[in-house]
Structure formats: C-alpha cells, structure tokens
Amino acid sequence: MAIRIQLPLTDEVISTLKAGDSVLLSGSLLTGRDAAHKRLSELLQAGKPLPVSLQGEVIYYVGPAPAKPGHAVGPAGPTSSYRMDAYAPALLDLGLKGMIGKGARNQEVVEAMIRNHAVYFAAIGGAAALISHSIRRIEVLAYEDLGTEAIYRFEVEDFPAIVAIDAEGNSILVTRPAEG
C-alpha cells in the first residue's frame, strides 16, 4: 500500500520514509533539468540569489511535453538523475528536501542527502503519460527561455513514486554481485 504524503516535506515525514516505500505525493513541487541546474549553480558560484527558494522543496527532474487541450501538461516522465549530480549537493545544502528522477545517484549526493536529511524518489520511466494525469496545474517560475527545461511549479495529486534513497542513505538502487 502506498504512503500518502502532503508536500512540502517535513523532517518528521522524511524520518518515516524507508528505501523501497511506495508513495503518492500531493501538493506543490518544483521542476528542473540540466540547463536550469547549471544556471542555479552559476548564480551560487557568483554569490547571487537564486530566482526561487529551495528551502523545504522537492524538485522533479522533468522536461514536460506541451499540454493537449484540457490538460495541465503533456507527458511528464522523469529524466536521468545522474545529470544533476554535480549540482545536487549545493542545492541540498540550501534546504532542498527531496528530488524525483530515475536512476542511481553518486556518493557525494547520497552524503549530502544524509547531511541534510533529504530523500530521493524514483518515478517510473516510460510512464510519462500516466504521471501527467497526477499534475493538476503548472506555472513557470524561472528561466522561461529554456522552454520545457524552465523551472516550473507543479501542483500534483497522488504523484506515484518510490523512495529510492532514504535520509539514512539506504538505497534500492544498489546492486551487488551474486555470491557463489
């Protein structure tokens, strides 16, 4: 049975989540991919303020397709998270509490998650059309010139995901060779 979670994430909720838990997320989250992360990183390196607050936020690594009439967004499947690994630790240090994507994360990201009591959710790749049904409303917050890679705020209801890495660093993505 899936755990229903109301966003924004709190430390108390994060403490209850374990790698492998199925969740349904409802509330508000941010989106962003490579190009937006690069711009955020450049601002941080220059000592400039970010265009959005990351405090307590969850970011979904997605570049949503254009919406068909009557829908908030088109297919909105996760992108490979490793492409944000160079940027994620600094964003976690600024208060980011969760990330949604697909695939494994590097050790530096996992250490930053533990340090900042954050969680990484895996969304199911190949289910972009299904996921889009949980997105109720979208709004561009920053970098509109990036098109689908802009930073959006999504309002979601029962967004399906799995806790891939919990705040203690436990992961469902770690595989081990067969013993024999």
Residues 30-74 pLDDT 10s: 999 999 999 999 999 999 999 999 999 999 999 888 888 888 999
Residues 14-35 pLDDT 10s: 999 999 999 999 999 999 999 9
Residues 81-112 pLDDT 10s: 999 999 999 999 999 999 999 999 999 999 99
The secondary structure of residue 171, as a DSSP letter, is: B
Q: Answer whether the bond into residue 177 is a cis peptide, omega within 30°.
A: no
Task: Give the tokens for residue 116.
Answer: 């900042």
pLDDT confidence tier of residue 124, bands split at 50, 70 and 90? confident
pLDDT confidence tier of residue 175, bands split at 50, 70 and 90? low
CATH 3.40.50.2300 fits 3-165, yes or no: no
Whole-structure pTM value: 0.93
The secondary structure of residue 52, as a DSSP letter, is: S
Residue at 176: amino acid letter: R
CA 172/CA 124 separation, integer angstroms: 14
Residue at 34: amino acid letter: D
Strands 151-165 and 135-142: antiparallel
CA 125/CA 144 separation, integer angstroms: 25
H helices within 87-127, ranges in order? 88-93, 107-116
Mean pLDDT value of segment 133-141: 94
Q: Where are the domains of the chain?
A: 3-165
